[in-house]
Structure 1
């Protein structure tokens, strides 16, 4: 907490409270308290008002009580920002000494917000929580009923996890170990990486796939295969909301509303835009603006956490920037600012070029292992994997990228560290290393491949799962976009 230090004007205030209590048996004098607060509220740049209100309640078991409190507001000569001394320590001291309930006053003027006592920021009115208050916006309700505030503070903000994958067809091993397996783990209560007591939204982002030219028939096949693959890796549609992005109309509505408030300079700085645009002769507007659609995907569901890789952190930061800008501009808590959810993720590289990541865009099918590959195909691809002629096995991506990539695959599928695997396999030659990794990959992907084939062969069940997910996703997304439209002034008669 910042305190003005320039040209301080010392002021003192004493507040006296006298409380009388009468019980059925006797009348006694309970407590008299005198507080002295020293404040520094004025500097050469100017400061404004300071508001403090602390009240003491007696226990409700006492049959009759009389409550009296005084509060003062101090004003300085100029109007600018607010400076506070350490009220939190004072509040905790009072609670400790008096062992009574304490009514807290929230103080917020223009650029500062504080909730006395160290609780999280919450806007309250009439003892009931009405929303979060972010830095940069004033809080107009200062007197709070103790019971209402305590009830509001006892209800933590829900954790909402949201993520998506582009509809590129059957995912490869890199997609699985880098993202999809983590999705399954965070929503699985039995997993050590589980996010407890959370709501989950997972989507196949087919609209994002349109940023590059698509053949309609191939796109339909890719969407079906991606949907089936997400369920195959272990996503439970009973624990999470699983849906197809284009089937929830609020995504495109929200994207347009956000795009109208996003400066082009923010999009120009996106490194992925620069990289992908250089690979196309005439990059589309959709490719340029797809980070805004990504922001809409996240913000629609009041998302608190997003599982992302390092290459997506810049986009998530843009989402936070857009959300914060809207909250400030429209003087309202419209959007939650999402945080990255960092989970253990292996970075798997191409089998043919281990200096590049494994990718669907690689023309060589031998560069990647896809989740529907049978054991013979996996064995053939790994036998062709690039290694080196050095003896033994070690883990060093700088010196031995090919060998290290195989070690990383083995480690990820066996839930061990690469260093541990390299130490155990140090005596093997390259042929033996490839055989060892092949056995681990075949066994590790077997249950995924079996579930994938099931969902691909049962399209009616897959469609039913998506219908349920669409309804649940639309209920939340529509409410969010309507709230935004109301703040913008688009809802005229409501």
Structure 2
């Protein structure tokens, strides 16, 4: 039985890129998979490298939980929990910190990228891949649904697991593999770059109709007039529409682009209307869950209880090999 594990940082409401590349494929796998072989968590500890206000992180956690549940995650079939509720993962991360070479970690693309952008860098940002490796390896997860930008982190987790296995002299950790949805591995934002909260180029299906429409209408286009023919292969509106619309509707829009007489504003309205229609049920459920935060806390606590039971057994096995006493 191969375990599946994935998570999203609680840095805000999941945008369309998160939904298409992580949430939808992960929910599908979790609901079809063998009971309790899927681990889905909200990475609130990881969020601290970016957000210092814990009230914001807590509220974001509710948004993430509501988003997952609105897309039909079956909590009876998987372990759905808040990362900070299973603090044993931080103990494992410390062991990895002490075994993994500093020079290798310093080569992480994400850290070097942030170093160029910021003057103030916290230690958590540097050790981020270590905690991520602990999230994965603590449960011996094999399949990790991720976006393209997380591939190096999965490779680091593999190296850490392999490095630790060799040091201990026993295969304690299963080495994980990244799982990419090729169609949705790279979702463009409104500016044509990868959709990201930090770039402020997101389309948020859980925002109000007015805000959602404003986001879509801000999608960057060229200066071609309504009458002119347009290239559907290089257009950002078409790129997003192709990810969510049925094949026949995609072909209709492509023909309109090629024929001419079809403006970008019309295409944006078509994208907006399709998002409203396609995700109407999920939007309704999301807003309902956000009014029931005590229910969300209860659901996450149930998942954490199950995850803790597994984590404690795994960590005690690791502690045994490190000559530490078991956790009582």
What is the match of residue 360 of structure 1?
A: 197
1:465 equivalent to 2:299? Answer: yes
Structure 1: distance between partners of 2:49 and 2:126 = 9
Answer whether contact 2:51 2:57 (CA < 8 A) is retained. no
Alpha carbons of structure 1 residues 345 and 209: separation in structure 2 relative to 1, 3 Å: farther
RCO (CA 8 Å, sep 6+): is it higher in 1 or 2? Answer: 2
1:264-306 per-residue CA deviation (whole Å, 9 max, x = no partner) reads 1111111011001222212111100110000000001111111
Q: CA deviation at 1:377?
A: 2.6
What is the match of residue 99 of structure 1?
A: none
Alpha carbons of structure 1 residues 179 and 315: separation in structure 2 relative to 1, 3 Å: same
SS of match in other structure, 1:201: strand
Structure 1: distance between partners of 2:119 and 2:52 = 16
Structure having the higher strand fraction is: 1
Alpha carbons of structure 1 residues 188 and 258: separation in structure 2 relative to 1, 3 Å: same
What is the match of residue 266 of structure 2?
A: 432
1:413 equivalent to 2:244? Answer: yes
Structure 2: distance between partners of 1:310 and 1:430 = 29
Which of 1 and 2 has greater Rg? 1
Structure 2: distance between partners of 1:197 and 1:323 = 25
Structure 2: distance between partners of 1:321 and 1:450 = 43
Structure having the higher helix fraction is: 2
Gaps of 5+ in 1: 1-157, 190-194
Q: If the length of structure 1 is used for normalisation, what is the TM-score?
A: 0.61
1:166 equivalent to 2:9? Answer: yes
Structure 2: distance between partners of 1:223 and 1:439 = 28
Structure 2: distance between partners of 1:196 and 1:436 = 39
Structure 1: distance between partners of 2:246 and 2:319 = 47
What is the match of residue 93 of structure 2?
A: 255
Structure 1: distance between partners of 2:255 and 2:29 = 30
Structure 1: distance between partners of 2:249 and 2:169 = 50
Aligned residues: 321
SS of match in other structure, 1:162: strand
Q: CA deviation at 1:196?
A: 6.7
Structure 2: distance between partners of 1:269 and 1:417 = 45
Alpha carbons of structure 1 residues 434 and 218: separation in structure 2 relative to 1, 3 Å: same
Q: Please show how residues 467-482 of structure 1 align to structure 2 within 5 Å.
A: 467-482=301-316
Q: Please show how residues 293-332 of structure 1 align to structure 2 within 5 Å.
A: 293-332=131-170
Superposition RMSD in Å: 2.3
Aligned residue among 45, 59, 70 for 1:207:
45
Gaps of 5+ in 2: none
Which stretch has the larger CA shift, 243-252 or 479-488? Answer: 479-488
Structure 1: distance between partners of 2:116 and 2:106 = 13
What is the match of residue 278 of structure 1?
A: 116
SS of match in other structure, 1:278: helix
What is the match of residue 285 of structure 2?
A: 451
Structure 1: distance between partners of 2:24 and 2:172 = 32
